[in-house]
């Protein structure tokens, strides 16, 4: 019975990552190839294991920070964002880019998100297996942490794709590492500050909590908008350009239709939850925040799932012939 319970927890932990993986695979199956997709997801799991392997060093590096803001910053950027994004970047740069099946910027774009999903799935399973409230924690992480990793992966993938296409490679590879670290750190910082509120006697804890909540909301909204733009660029507009990638394959129409319906459910459901949260914020900030913040990423990914290549893309000679 204990084994069955753990299997249920693991399945629950992996479900959000599995949904987003299925979405990406349905759109990139012909462009990347199944072999590269599987190996990239495996690299995501390996990236999580590598971060765990250096966990002692990470904890040592953050132990010098003073309690409060300094500890929150160290935990966000040195304890989480820095090592996690660095490991993903190194695997993308040295292994995925050199793989014989990787022959386009689009491959690197999708690979960066798949590495992030492999990492997020492992991380989520480990968190939930060690939590007495795995259902509540898994729900919150499913709509916040896992999509967040995909957001950082999309940003990394965008710059990696630009570098692969010969657009200032040195600059774009540098940005592929630094921008995700910055975004990840800004996402984690409010969460780490909330954790510090439990241990550090701030003079104005309520104000600190409120400032961190609105900082988190700003990061969620800005990163969601950026991710929608990036995905539209790489999953829609790319098909209308005649010289970007040599192996562009539009996803099959049958593969797009169900995701558009699922995306509509995400958009409408998250909008309803967000509106309720916004209403609660007026009278009960904590309850409103509990609903408002988790509604942002599902809303953005709902719109992303509704994306489809324009009909005109099939008129481009190199695409129509496939």
| Cβ atoms 104, 160 nearer than 8 A | no
For 289-319, letters b (16+ CB in 10 Å) and e give bebbbbbbbbbbbbbbbbbbbeeebeeeeeb
CA-wise closest residue to 314 among 253, 231, 244, 229: 253
Residue (of 127, 166, 158) closest to 12 by Cα position:
127
| Structure-token pair, residue 248 | 């562009």
**pLDDT value for 313:** 57
Q: Where are the domains of the chain?
A: 2-320
* Alpha carbon distance 226, 99 (integer Å): 28
pLDDT single digits (tens) 175-234: 999 999 999 999 999 999 999 999 999 999 999 999 999 999 999 999 999 999 999 999
pTM recorded for the entire structure: 0.95
Which among 124, 122, 101, 106 has a CA at the least distance from the CA of 43? Answer: 122
Mean pLDDT, all residues of the chain: 93
pLDDT (tens digit per residue) in 81-131? 999 999 999 999 999 999 999 999 999 999 999 999 999 999 999 999 999
Predicted confidence at residue 224, as pLDDT, reads 98
Residue with tokens 């509990």: 290
pLDDT given at position 244:
61
> What DSSP assignment string belongs to 170-202?
HHHHHHHHHHHHHHHHHHHHHHHHHHHTTTS--
Report in angstroms the alpha-carbon separations of 123 from 90, 116, 119, 274. 19, 10, 6, 26
The two three-digit tokens of residue 145, written as one number:
């942490």
- The percentage of residues in the chain with a pLDDT greater than 90, rounded to a whole number, is 84
């Amino acid at each position: 019975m204990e084994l069955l319970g753990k299997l249920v927890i693991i399945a629950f932990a992996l479900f959000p990552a599995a949904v987003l993986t299925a979405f990406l695979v349905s759109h990139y199956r012909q462009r990347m190839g199944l072999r590269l997709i599987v190996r990239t997801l495996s690299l995501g799991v390996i990236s999580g294991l590598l971060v765990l392997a250096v966990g002692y060093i990470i904890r040592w590096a953050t132990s010098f920070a003073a309690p409060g803001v300094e500890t929150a910053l160290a935990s966000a950027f040195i304890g989480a964002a820095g090592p996690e994004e660095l490991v993903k970047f190194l695997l993308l740069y040295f292994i995925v880019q050199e793989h014989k099946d990787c022959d386009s910027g689009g491959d690197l774009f999708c690979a960066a998100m798949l590495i992030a999903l492999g990492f997020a799935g492992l991380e989520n399973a480990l968190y939930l297996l060690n939590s007495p409230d795995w259902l509540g924690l898994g729900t919150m992480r499913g709509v916040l942490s896992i999509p967040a990793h995909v957001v950082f992966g999309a940003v990394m993938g965008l710059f990696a794709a630009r570098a692969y296409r010969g657009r200032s490679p040195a600059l774009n590879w540098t940005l592929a590492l630094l921008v995700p670290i910055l975004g990840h750190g800004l996402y984690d910082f409010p969460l780490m500050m909330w954790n510090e509120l439990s241990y550090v006697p701030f003079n104005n804890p309520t104000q600190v909590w409120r400032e961190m909540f609105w900082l988190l909301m700003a990061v969620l909204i800005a990163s969601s908008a950026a991710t929608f733009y990036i995905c539209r660029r790489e999953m829609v507009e790319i098909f209308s350009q005649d010289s970007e990638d040599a192996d562009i394959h539009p996803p099959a129409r049958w593969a797009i239709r169900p995701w558009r319906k699922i995306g509509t459910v995400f958009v409408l459901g998250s909008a309803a939850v967000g509106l309720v949260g916004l209403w609660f914020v007026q009278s009960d900030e904590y309850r409103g925040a509990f609903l408002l913040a988790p509604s942002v990423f599902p809303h953005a990914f709902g719109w992303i799932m509704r994306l489809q290549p324009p009909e005109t893309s099939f008129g481009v000679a190199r695409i129509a012939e496939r």
